[in-house]
Amino acid sequence: MTEPLGPPATPTPIPLRPAARRGSRTDAAGRLEQLGPEACDDETLLAALLGDGAAARRAARRLLDRFGSLDRTVRAHPVELRIAGLGAGAALRVTSSVEIGRRVAWASVHEPWLVRTPADAAEPLVDAMGSLEREELRVLLLDTKNVVVGRRTVYRGNLTGSSVRVGEVYRDAVRACAAAVLVVHNHPSGDPTPSGEDLRITAELSEAGRLLDIELLDHLVIGRGRWTSLRSLGALDQSASTMR
């Protein structure tokens, strides 16, 4: 005997995509997983870094509104982020993310980093250092073939002739037995024109390098999208066309 027909089977519903479930606890994480980080907006990326859920998204929006952009937000000092309402752990995660990005970019792009002209040293640094809101002085350590074998950030803050100590600039070069150094600092104003203090510091560093038998290849001043080589200006009494 033929069994009676039952009601038609209810089709299995198609689940909603995670990105469409607005306000859920995994909102930012879900969008990252679904779309990939390159397709997410600044607020979503920052919210995923801060935590999860609506609170993280509100905090991300508040930070972007306060600092004006993602770039300015992640480059803010941890104290500034704390004042803006972040906890200590979240503030450190934000600032650490910038350093992680720098180190990854350094490892993938600049191996090996050969410096034969001032442009070889300046071009890889101009974007990152030109956007800094505080002055930094960095030292590149080079071997006998002019390959960069290390870099150090020696000073952060307002640089003056009295604050820059020659020994600090050459300390890591001496320890690493570097053959040469290249000094780089930025002007937050965006204008890379060297100041009188920049010229005086360069002369002191050049003389100290001769005494230590560690050549000062150049002193670069980085501005916003521009840079100046003190070597090219004749501050080192050497040709700017090629280095060694």
Q: How far is 91 from 82, CA to CA, in rounded Å?
A: 6
CA 202 to each of CA 120, 172, 198, 236: distance values in angstroms, whole numbers, following the listed order: 19, 18, 6, 8
pLDDT at 162: 52
What is the tens place of the pLDDT at every residue in 163-202? 778 899 999 999 999 999 999 999 999 999 999 999 999 9
pLDDT at 148: 93
Q: How far is 33 from 36, CA to CA, in rounded Å?
A: 6
Checking if the pLDDT of 239 tops 60, the result is no
What is the tens place of the pLDDT at every residue in 202-215? 999 999 999 999 99
pLDDT at 177: 95
Question: Is the pTM higher than 0.75?
Answer: no
Checking if the pLDDT of 146 tops 50, the result is yes
Checking if the pLDDT of 222 tops 70, the result is yes
For the chain, give the percent of residues with pLDDT over 70.
78
**Among 92, 94, 82, 79, residue whose Cα is nearest residue 47:** 94
- 12 pLDDT band (50/70/90 cuts)? very low
Classify the phi-psi angles of 87: left when phi > 0, otherwise alpha if psi is within -120 to 50, otherwise beta. beta
Q: What is the mean pLDDT of residues 234-243?
A: 65
DSSP letter at 38? Answer: G
Checking if the pLDDT of 217 tops 50, the result is yes
For the chain, give the percent of residues with pLDDT over 90.
44
pLDDT at 165: 87
Phi, psi of 155 (to 5 degrees): -135, 145
What is the tens place of the pLDDT at every residue in 70-96? 888 888 888 899 998 888 888 888 888
Checking if the pLDDT of 127 tops 50, the result is yes
Mean of per-residue pLDDT scores for the chain: 82
Cβ(209)–Cβ(215) below 8 Å: yes
pLDDT at 22: 43
Residue type, 191: D
pLDDT at 72: 85
- 159 pLDDT band (50/70/90 cuts)? low
